[in-house]
Structure 1
Amino acid sequence: MNTNTLPTDELKKYGIINEDNSYSKKLNADDIQKFLQGYTIVADNDKSRATFQLTDNNTKLKVIHLERDKNLPEILKNSKDRVEYTDIQKVSNNLLPEFSTLEKKAFIFDKETNKVVEFDFIKNARELTAIIADKKNTEELNRYIAELLKLKSFLQDKIVQFPEMAKKITNDLNIVSKEFNTVAGISEKQNHSQKQEKSNVQLNVNDPDVYQDANRMREEESQDQDEEIQKSRGFRR
């Protein structure tokens, strides 16, 4: 790894390093070390997002510009009440000029840390599904299913449009399809359980055996009352 041939002009252009070649105060020592090892720096501003990564033995800076469908303050605010979903579209990339990928994210408020955590539908698929399933909230589950279907449809269209990228897109599609099947199964079990509970309630109210037992009790009580009346009348004689 070469740290002496950094693309300083580009790093200064994007504010990663200062004019005196010191690193931005927004980056801590751990961020800087990871960046030099090939990790990506992410910068968010309203609806815009940019990612920065050093490549070619730290001699080049790979920059990808993205645009989100919602602004960040809105996402952070809404995520405190429910899971907030957002789509991020690449404005530029190094794959094909006309090829544009879609990143779908979920923002979830973590009550233990009091922070909003971002999850990627592909990279954090299993973890995201587990968190939403653990909420045991039918509405949240259905919203997640709808977002998975949107992403699945997008990827299926891209395979047809860009067959040369089919292998990579298919890998992502398989991940999304697996999570969809998992969540759909959970949803089906929840719906079945709710229907069973509703059926049990109706059975308690409408069960003919219950009414027959009640009628028998009323008949027996009526007979007992008649006998008491007859005894009473006989006693007065």
Structure 2
Amino acid sequence: MNTKTLPTDELKKYGIINEDLSFSKKLNADDVQKFLKGYTIVADHNKNRATFQLTENNSKLKVIFLERDKSIDEILKNSKANIEYSNIQDLSKSEKEMVYEKKAFIFDKETNKVVEFDLIKNTRELTAIIADKRDIAETNRYKTELQKLKSFLQYKIDQFPEMAKEITNDLNIVAKEIGTVDGISKKQNDTQKLDKTDIQLNVNDPDMYQNSRRYWEEEEELHRPKGRGR
């Protein structure tokens, strides 16, 4: 790994390193090592997101500015109650070059932190988490977000066929996951129907009905005002 060719002026400009060339205290040792190996640093503020990545043997800094549809504070707050979804776009690019990402934010009670998932890169892990929740409404929300993403990818292919090969892989991942979610939804619906059937059977159980009737008759006798003796 080459650190001698670091673009120090740019790194200082964005606060990644200090004037004495030490790395910002906002980055821990692991973050720094990953950054020097080509991993991306992500910085969020309000609706804005910036990504920083070293390229060309650590001699250049690739910077991308993105915009969310929601502020990071809103996302963090809402994710504590339900899974929160957000779109990220690079509005500075042409429609053809436009970066579009769909994220899911889930609050992890064990670590007390909000974890970000990409609906393409982390789709299997995300689907497993949602399946474990066994919540039909949450599953349907997830499916809706996948369908929106699928529609966008299909639109990009239709508008820019020369990019079809590049986008089709992502489209296939999303389409396959929609199929998986359909299977999860069917199981959840079947379970819910079974639960309702069990309740109905219990209500119609003759022995239970007789026991219930006898109980209320006894209660009625117990609380009935007694007549005056003669």
Q: Does 1:73 align with 2:73?
A: yes
Distance 1:10 1:126 in 2: 37
SS at match of 1:99: coil
Instruction: Kindly provide the CA deviation profile for residues 86-136 of structure 1, in whole angstroms up to 9, marking residues without a partner as x.
Output: 01112346xx77421311111101111111111111111100000011000
Following superposition of structure 1 onto structure 2, how do residues 15-34 of structure 1 map, counting pairs within 5 Å? Answer: 15-34=15-34
Distance 1:106 1:39 in 2: 21
Residue in 1 aligned with 2:171? 173
Choose the corresponding residue for 2:196, options 176, 195, 198: 198
Instruction: Kindly provide the CA deviation profile for residues 62-99 of structure 1, in whole angstroms up to 9, marking residues without a partner as x.
Output: 11111000001111111111101101112346xx7742
Instruction: Kindly provide the CA deviation profile for residues 142-181 of structure 1, in whole angstroms up to 9, marking residues without a partner as x.
Output: 1101111111111110111122221221111111111111
CA contact (8 A) 2:49 2:68 kept: yes
Residue in 2 aligned with 1:48? 48
- 1:202 CA drift (Å): 4.2
Name the amino acid aligned to 2:31: D
Following superposition of structure 1 onto structure 2, how do residues 1-237 of structure 1 map, counting pairs within 5 Å? Answer: 1-92=1-92, 98-202=96-200
Distance 1:40 1:116 in 2: 19
RMSD: 2.0
Aligned residues: 208
CA contact (8 A) 1:87 1:105 kept: yes
CA contact (8 A) 1:64 1:92 kept: no
Residue in 2 aligned with 1:230? none
CA contact (8 A) 1:78 1:84 kept: yes
Q: 1:166 to 1:125 in 2, by over 3 A?
A: same
Greater shift in the superposed pair: 128-137 or 15-24:
15-24
CA contact (8 A) 1:70 1:86 kept: yes
Distance 2:92 2:30 in 1: 28
Gaps of 5+ in 2: 211-230
Distance 2:8 2:163 in 1: 33
Name the amino acid aligned to 2:82: R
**Which structure: larger Rg?**
1
Runs of 4+ aligned residues of structure 1 deviating over 6 Å after TM superposition are none
SS at match of 1:191: helix
CA contact (8 A) 1:12 1:19 kept: yes
SS at match of 1:57: coil
Q: 1:161 to 1:118 in 2, by over 3 A?
A: same
Distance 2:153 2:96 in 1: 15
SS at match of 2:17: coil
Distance 1:41 1:80 in 2: 25
SS at match of 1:100: coil
Name the amino acid aligned to 1:198: K
SS at match of 1:179: helix
CA contact (8 A) 1:85 1:105 kept: yes
Distance 1:199 1:171 in 2: 42
